[in-house]
Amino acid sequence: MAQHGGPQQRIFSPLRTALHRFAFILLIFSAFGLMLLGKADTVLIERIRAASADLVSPIMSIVSRPAASIDEFTDKLYNLAHLYEENERLRRENRQLLAWQQAARNLSHENNRLRDLAHYTTPPSLNLVTSRVIADMGGAYAHSLMISAGSRDGVIKGQAVIADEGLVGRIAEAGYQASRVLLITDINSRVPVIVENSRDRAFVSGDNTNRPLLTFLTADASVAPGDRILTSGHGGAFPPGIPVGIVSSVSENAVRIAPLFHRHQLEYLRVANYGLHGILSEQRIRQSLSPKNPAATNLAPEIPAGVGVVPDDSEIQAGQANTSEQTQEGDRP
Amino acid sequence: MKPSVWQRLDVIARGLVPAFSVFVLLLINLLPIGLPLLSAASPSLALMAVFYWSVNRPDLLTGLTAFLLGVLQDLLLGLPLGVSSLVLLLVQTISANQGRFFHNKSFVVMWWGFALVAIPSLLVQWLLSSALIGALLPIKATLISYMLTALLFPIVAWLLARTQNSLLRYV
């Protein structure tokens, strides 16, 4: 800063201070303005967020590689040290899995026969897009990841994101070449689920801890620690039957589940395009706002609900058109 | 003597170093690191850098820059928009005004100063995020985040001091 005071300095210095103060107040107000805007116009903010993800994704996809290779190295060291026990464990597991495979074959055969008998219409087929995790917005406030697949790969907002172990989250914003995944542990996440054994319906609601809550359980539902939780497919957002977690604790006022994935170990994720557009797509929201059929109720009947629901003919065709488009692009590693 | 175009470009480029360093630290914050602790709560690297530059070179990291970097942080980390902008702007203004206090003092004084500034910053961030999301966020993650932020400050400050000495000595 210039210290030599002159007549000019004497006039402009207070002016500059006033200007600084004014700019500061203006910026404070714009910060609050941004908060209001973020609450009011979510569609615009989503577009901007998606664009910013696109902006950094080329850098992140390069920079995240060395980080991943360091992980690989530590993994290798660990594996080398535990080779013997791991081998024993896998042998045991393999024996069990072979037995399960036999059971699954029998059941799948029986299932096909029964489906034929009952003229069951199969739900739309799953179309998976595999992509790499390029960023982890690890933090106390938001549980989300960035993946290197976007609308060019057929990824749309609202689609389910799956790891080898089970459900990870859903697409919150899809950019052109990168998207943000909202984890099921995030406070904004709600996933319709069923308890595997009792078929009780509920929601998995994140609360920014590692153990999301099981909410909206009926009073007579029977849940015990160790029960598996699967997606129910209600609302048409997620395919049914994806494992979500295992009930970890049951108390008077809260049932918590342990997700099946370890956030720090996520490396490759698959985005499931189920042919249904999900309840979250803007197109669907617009449709439900103005029902074409005057006799339609306000319950938005065009939203398919339930396991193995049959979409309309037009929807199946649209789904097929989608699939044929995406098989070309979706095969990309 | 009038400086040539290249000299002026050089000065401008060097002047952008502080803002660019915050951007780089933001990207480092985003790296998927295979540690269980860091995926639950990460240190706020941008906060450290904004504090460091506001104390040492407030002329090169102005309030507006801090505000814009905050917007970027909110967009990239998926936080409610505007929260980081407000926090970084306040940190910049306060540290730039009180920056002279840290000059010619040992680094430990600055470390203590940062540890003090980081408490209200992260608390405001937690409160505003909770208010905008509409539910109280678990405070435990914020506490871990604060610990990491305060403990890792010397490393980031050392890196930034190296950058400052090598690139900004004559700017």
pLDDT digits over B4-55, tens only?
A: 888 888 888 888 899 999 999 998 888 877 666 666 778 889 999 999 999 9
pLDDT above 90 covers a percentage of chain B that reads 43
What integer pLDDT is reported at residue B123 of this predicted model? 93
- Interface size A-B, in CB pairs within 8 Å, comes to 154
Q: Are A65 and A133 in contact (CB under 8 A)?
A: no
Q: Looking at CA atoms only, how far is residue A201 from chain B in angstroms?
A: 24
What integer pLDDT is reported at residue A66 of this predicted model? 75
Residue type at position A265: Q
Q: Are A53 and A173 in contact (CB under 8 A)?
A: yes
User: Under an 8 A CB cutoff, do B138 and A209 touch?
Assistant: yes
Question: CA dihedral defined by B17, B20, B21, B26, rounded to 10 degrees?
Answer: 170
pLDDT digits over A49-91, tens only?
A: 889 889 888 888 888 887 677 777 777 888 888 888 889 999 9
pLDDT digits over A262-278, tens only?
A: 888 888 899 987 655 55
Residue from the list B32, B35, B145 with its beta carbon closest to the beta carbon of A135? B32
pLDDT digits over A11-55, tens only?
A: 677 888 888 888 889 999 999 999 998 888 778 888 888 898 898
C-beta contacts of A314-320 below 8 A and 24+ residues apart: A315/A275, A315/A276, A316/A124, A316/A275, A319/A124, A319/A275, A319/A276, A320/A275
Q: Looking at CA atoms only, how far is residue A71 from chain B in angstroms?
A: 6
Question: CA dihedral defined by B137, B139, B143, B145, rounded to 10 degrees?
Answer: -10
B116 vs B141: CA distance, rounded Å: 18
Q: Indicate the pLDDT class of residue A289, thresholds 50, 70 and 90.
A: low
Interface of A with B in 71-90 (CB under 8 A): 71, 74-75
Q: Indicate the pLDDT class of residue A309, thresholds 50, 70 and 90.
A: very low
User: Under an 8 A CB cutoff, do B32 and A133 touch?
Assistant: yes
What integer pLDDT is reported at residue A288 of this predicted model? 56
Domain locations along chain B:
5-167
What integer pLDDT is reported at residue A287 of this predicted model? 57
Worst-scoring range by mean pLDDT, A43-57, A296-310, B82-96?
A296-310
With 50 as the cut, is the pLDDT of residue A321 above it? no
More confident residue, A2 or B111: B111
Q: Looking at CA atoms only, how far is residue A187 from chain B in angstroms?
A: 8
A25 part of contact set with chain B, CB < 8 Å: no
Residue range A152-157: mean pLDDT, rounded: 88
Q: Indicate the pLDDT class of residue A296, thresholds 50, 70 and 90.
A: very low
Q: Indicate the pLDDT class of residue A281, thresholds 50, 70 and 90.
A: low
Return the structure tokens found at A95: 């024996």
pLDDT digits over A110-152, tens only?
A: 988 888 888 877 666 677 889 988 888 866 778 888 999 998 8
B33 vs A265: CA distance, rounded Å: 8
Q: Which CATH number fits domain A49-81+121-273: 2.40.10.340, 3.40.50.300, 1.10.3720.10, 3.40.47.10?
A: 2.40.10.340
DSSP state for residue B32 in the 8-state scheme: -
Half-sphere exposure of B111 (CA within 13 A, CB side): 13
Residue range A239-244: mean pLDDT, rounded: 87
Q: Which residue has the tokens 């065709």?
A: A317
**Whole-number mean pLDDT of chain A?**
78
User: Under an 8 A CB cutoff, do B76 and A56 touch?
Assistant: yes
User: Under an 8 A CB cutoff, do A140 and B85 touch?
Assistant: no
With 50 as the cut, is the pLDDT of residue B56 above it? yes
With 60 as the cut, is the pLDDT of residue B122 above it? yes
With 80 as the cut, is the pLDDT of residue A311 above it? no
**Whole-number mean pLDDT of chain B?**
88
A187 part of contact set with chain B, CB < 8 Å: yes
With 60 as the cut, is the pLDDT of residue A318 above it? no
Q: Indicate the pLDDT class of residue B158, thresholds 50, 70 and 90.
A: very high
Q: What's this model's pTM, rounded to 2 decimal places?
A: 0.75
Q: Are A140 and B137 in contact (CB under 8 A)?
A: yes
